[in-house]
Structure 1
Amino acid sequence: MAPLLEVDELTCGYGPVSVLREVSFTVERGECVAVLGANGAGKTTLLRALSGLLRPTAGRIVYDGADLRGVPVEKVVRRGLAHVPEGRGVVAELTVDENLRLGGLWRPDRKDARTALAEVYELFDPLARRKGSVGHQLSGGERQMLALGRALVARPTLLLLDEPSLGLAPRVTAQILGLLTRLRERTGLTVLLVEQNVRSVLSVADRGVVLSVGRVALSAPAARLRDDDDLRHAYLGF
């Protein structure tokens, strides 16, 4: 079976500056792949290119057999790809329930959208207890759950998740990653995860792709990256 996502010789950046250079890797269906690397390596740029927010200058992005180059963001979402950007972006003036319903606005099947909403509340119990609270009243962990839950209401096949632990306490980070693991087990969701907390993410990922100065420096099973001292020191700095 073909990979769900195939990135082939992808080059992109901002204006004349190329941030990613000839990046190639694949993501299999049901897999969790961690994108690792130092600040400035191109991790966030990669997710922006995959979700259509940034247009590549060269290379291919093949998702579920279709080339995504030039496909508008809203059509990328309709094809089953959801992007949770860095920063826990929620609409601060809307309630938890209203934020979550935004994730299903484009879906024609209203009954299934309601079912998806109920499933998110079952998965994220803190959100269920705060349905009527507005975004600015939530803690950092609750806002991260809300951003993730809003993406899940759209029932994505591939979830792009950028720095979910940023600014969170270790206990909350462990909770978020644990929820992600349970979600994959329940639904078979495929995840591409950018994360600076390397130790934590390698405990939940199947494989790691290490970026260095905009290029793929290494792709290896997460267990190997976690357990091989030489690889950790050379590529991950710990």
Structure 2
Amino acid sequence: MSAEPMLQTSGLIAGYGNAPVLRGIDLTVPAGTITAVLGANGAGKTTLLRALSGLIRPTGGRIVFDGVELGGTPVEHLVRRGLVHVPQGRGVVEELTVEENLRLGGLWRRDRTDARRALAEVYDLFEPLARRRRHAGHQLSGGERQQLALGRALVARPRLLLLDEPSLGLAPRVTAEIMALLRQLRDDTGLTVLLVEQNVRSALSVADEGVVMALGRIVVATGPAELRDDEQLRHAYLGF
């Protein structure tokens, strides 16, 4: 596991209009790791991912991705650099087929041979998608839609995957499958993952590092075992 940072922020401030949500975020995500971002609703977790992926413009601080300061880089350029965001709610285009949704992830890519290879790899990872490649998005189950959203991101060949609430609304078995896949991708490909998740136990089961947010700030950053074992911290910030 590499100790080199894939992502670093310092003093990151962002929000909506004149209402700041992030109030000075200092975060380091080592390459080849899974970092779980935890905290109550309203802590700023989703806003953090939106700021990192260029969906909202920070009003202060720095974001450095793989040694390069981003500083207002357009979203499409971030994707080309390897920073890919899977937002909460899965974001499947319901009118398009499974295969058409997946191909959206590779539209910008010039290497068409590797784009086809990436598509085949996604079908190997998600056998239900292979069976239903000609079905429209609205015909899929919740678990299949989450697989499709993940698969579309993987077709883009991410180096850093920002993943917002992948277990939302899913059965425990499906959640466990998704967490196992994240672990597999980290171990087999070196993928770096920044995972926002309300299912704390599931997130900590795969995370290398846990970050707890409250009121737009990071209050704790430590190993998953320490978070599980600290009863006072769990009760104060994580609700279990």
- Using structure 2 for the length normalisation, give the TM-score: 0.97
Instruction: Tell me whether 1:113 sits opposite 2:115 in the alignment.
Output: yes
Paired residue for 2:72, among 70, 73, 78? 70
Instruction: Tell me whether 1:136 sits opposite 2:130 in the alignment.
Output: no
Contact 2:7–2:28, Cα closer than 8 Å, also in 1: yes
Give the 3-state SS of the residue equivalent to 2:124 in structure 1: helix
Q: Unaligned stretches of 5+ in structure 1?
A: none
Equivalent residue, structure 1, for 2:99: 97
**Residues 179 and 2 of structure 1: CA distance in aligned 2, closer, same or farther (over 3 Å):** closer
Paired residue for 1:85, among 84, 87, 90? 87
Paired residue for 2:33, among 31, 34, 41? 31
How far apart are 1:71 and its partner, in Å?
0.5
Equivalent residue, structure 2, for 1:224: 226
- State how far apart, in whole Å, the 2-side matches of 1:227 and 1:30 are: 25
How far apart are 1:19 and its partner, in Å?
0.3
Letter of the 2:231 partner, please give it: D
The CA RMSD measured in Å over matched residues stands at: 0.9
Give the 3-state SS of the residue equivalent to 2:54 in structure 1: coil
- State how far apart, in whole Å, the 2-side matches of 1:98 and 1:197 are: 30
- State how far apart, in whole Å, the 1-side matches of 2:87 and 2:239 are: 25
How far apart are 1:230 and its partner, in Å?
2.7
Letter of the 1:129 partner, please give it: R
Give the 3-state SS of the residue equivalent to 2:193 in structure 1: strand
1:152-173, Cα deviation, whole Å (9 max, x unpaired): 0010000000000001111111
1:8-60, Cα deviation, whole Å (9 max, x unpaired): 11001001000000010100000100000100000000000000011000000
Identity of matched residues, %? 72
Q: Unaligned stretches of 5+ in structure 2?
A: none
Equivalent residue, structure 1, for 2:7: 5
Equivalent residue, structure 2, for 1:58: 60
- State how far apart, in whole Å, the 2-side matches of 1:69 and 1:195 are: 26
How far apart are 1:234 and its partner, in Å?
2.7
- State how far apart, in whole Å, the 2-side matches of 1:187 and 1:9 are: 31
How far apart are 1:228 and its partner, in Å?
2.6
- State how far apart, in whole Å, the 2-side matches of 1:210 and 1:36 are: 5
Within a 5 Å distance, the mapping from 1:150-165 to structure 2 comes to 150-165=152-167
How far apart are 1:148 and its partner, in Å?
0.4
- State how far apart, in whole Å, the 2-side matches of 1:170 and 1:107 are: 35
- Greater shift, 170-179 or 210-219, is seen at 170-179
- State how far apart, in whole Å, the 2-side matches of 1:130 and 1:180 are: 22
Instruction: Tell me whether 1:124 sits opposite 2:97 in the alignment.
Output: no
Letter of the 1:192 partner, please give it: L
- State how far apart, in whole Å, the 1-side matches of 2:76 and 2:104 are: 13
Letter of the 1:27 partner, please give it: V
- State how far apart, in whole Å, the 2-side matches of 1:205 and 1:150 are: 22
- State how far apart, in whole Å, the 2-side matches of 1:2 and 1:194 are: 21
Within a 5 Å distance, the mapping from 1:182-193 to structure 2 comes to 182-193=184-195
How far apart are 1:231 and its partner, in Å?
2.6
Contact 2:106–2:155, Cα closer than 8 Å, also in 1: yes
1:138-195, Cα deviation, whole Å (9 max, x unpaired): 0000000000000000100000000000011111111111111112121110000000
- Using structure 1 for the length normalisation, give the TM-score: 0.98
